[in-house]
Amino acid sequence: MTNLRTLSLWAYVLTFGALWGYALNTTSGGSPPGMLLMWVVIALAGSTLLGLKNHRIKADHLRLRAWVGDGAMIVAALVLVAVVPASLGLVRAGALLLLVTPYVYWYFRALAAVSV
């Protein structure tokens, strides 16, 4: 069985990576037909891993913060992708990266503090 840190890393890479890839590749010209399905499948796999990783957190206070934080970050990322025009694909992807990075950094710092 994988440790919580590895599971968390994969959960965030798949979930936010799918959103980032979608934000970057949906320019005004459109993307290939199967790309949306690919991003949805990757995001669903990542979301499933988010649920598994949150379930495995033993510290109650961190588990609650992780559930709320993960949900808030996903909603904020979806809103950002919906609000910023598709013609600004690189700007949209950069804004998404700037939104998610501090949260993921906080999570791994909190996880390390609880694990010690």
Residue extents of the structural domains in the chain = 4-115
Residue 112 amino acid letter: A
Give me the half-sphere count of Cα atoms (radius 13 Å) on the Cβ side of residue 73: 27
- pLDDT band at 22, cuts 50/70/90? confident
Q: Render pLDDT for 67-94 as a digit per residue (tens, 0 to 9).
A: 999 999 999 999 998 898 888 878 888 9
How far apart (Å, rounded) are the C-alpha atoms in residues 83 and 80? 5
**SS3 label, residue 72:** helix
Cα–chain center distance at 23: 12
